[in-house]
């Protein structure tokens, strides 16, 4: 309608300026309220801020490992695993203790895949873990975990490098003594087995040497002549030789 047009464009028409075409009811653009376009520096700064925020969020999400995430980790990612789980007697994932490797781990002794925050957490919780099954004792479980984690700690954590407490020094010495004792037991067992074998061989050789003297035709008459040379009569020598022959024959069969 004409009245609406006049109302919308009246000021421009009265001022002699070419009216700006816009929808009815649309407010007139105020030149003083225009938003300035951001500069390149401002855009770059905003992009960097967003990137830093994403990095922080990503790091936080990686640090907060959920139970589902931990259950999907390979066995190599854990400090110690209970024997019952390794033997396939149970599928309880709780038998795997103290995860500290990322999912890309290939070898439990490698350092490249270690997640430092979780390594620190595992070291702090090492003395608190308990076995789920009866396939390993609490002491053995914790000791195995401690030994594994300390290898990573000494290689990756500055506070643990070249640091050995008196307790750790004693543990190292005890491990060395235990290893020496095991080797010594192995040597002793080997010597004992060798002696037993030699004794058996000597007995068999001795038995073989005795057999020709009495259990063969030549040995029988050799023994007869020996008894005759000792002063026995023919009948006595023959009777005694036969007796020794029968005795040796009985012994050889037993």
Q: Mind listing the pLDDT tens digit for each residue in 98-108? A: 999 999 999 99
- Among the listed ranges 32-36, 114-118, 124-128, 148-152, which one has the minimum average pLDDT value? 32-36
Pull the structure tokens for residue 103.
Answer: 């999912």
Q: Is the pLDDT of residue 218 over 60?
A: yes
CA distance 42 to 35: 14
220 pLDDT tier (thresholds 50, 70, 90)? confident
CA distance 169 to 176: 11
115 pLDDT tier (thresholds 50, 70, 90)? very high
Pull the structure tokens for residue 164.
Answer: 């050995």
pLDDT tens-digit map of 240-249: 999 988 888 8
- Among the listed ranges 73-82, 117-126, 170-179, 180-189, which one has the minimum average pLDDT value? 170-179
Pull the structure tokens for residue 243.
Answer: 């007796």
Residue-level pLDDT at 41: 55
Q: Is the pLDDT of residue 35 over 70?
A: no
64 pLDDT tier (thresholds 50, 70, 90)? confident
pLDDT tens-digit map of 131-152: 999 999 999 999 999 999 999 9
CA distance 105 to 103: 6
pTM above 0.75, yes or no: no
CA distance 107 to 119: 16
Q: Is the pLDDT of residue 62 over 50?
A: no
Q: Is the pLDDT of residue 164 over 90?
A: no
Residue-level pLDDT at 197: 86
Please state, as a whole number, how many other Cβ atoms lie within 10 Å of the Cβ of residue 230: 10
């Amino acid at each position: 309608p004409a009245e609406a047009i006049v109302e919308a464009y009246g000021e421009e028409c009265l001022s002699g300026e070419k009216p700006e075409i816009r929808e009815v009811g649309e407010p007139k653009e105020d030149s003083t309220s225009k938003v300035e376009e951001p500069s390149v520096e401002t855009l770059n700064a905003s992009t960097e801020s967003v990137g830093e925020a994403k990095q922080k969020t990503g790091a936080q999400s990686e640090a907060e490992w959920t139970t589902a995430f931990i259950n999907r980790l390979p066995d190599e990612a854990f400090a110690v695993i209970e024997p019952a789980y390794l033997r396939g007697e149970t599928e309880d994932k709780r038998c795997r203790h103290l995860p500290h490797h990322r999912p890309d781990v290939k070898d439990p002794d490698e350092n490249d895949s270690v997640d430092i925050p979780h390594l620190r957490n595992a070291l702090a919780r090492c003395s608190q873990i308990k076995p789920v099954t009866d396939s390993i004792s609490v002491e053995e479980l914790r000791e195995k975990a401690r030994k594994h984690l300390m290898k990573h700690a000494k290689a990756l954590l500055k506070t643990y490098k070249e640091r050995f407490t008196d307790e750790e020094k004693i543990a190292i010495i005890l491990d060395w003594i235990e290893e020496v004792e095991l080797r010594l037991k192995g040597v002793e067992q080997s010597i004992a087995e060798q002696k037993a074998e030699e004794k058996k061989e000597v007995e068999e050789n001795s038995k073989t040497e005795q057999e020709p003297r009495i259990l063969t035709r030549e040995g029988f008459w050799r023994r007869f002549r020996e008894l005759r040379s000792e002063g026995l009569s023919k009948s006595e020598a023959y009777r005694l030789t036969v007796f020794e022959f029968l005795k040796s024959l009985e012994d050889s069969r037993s």
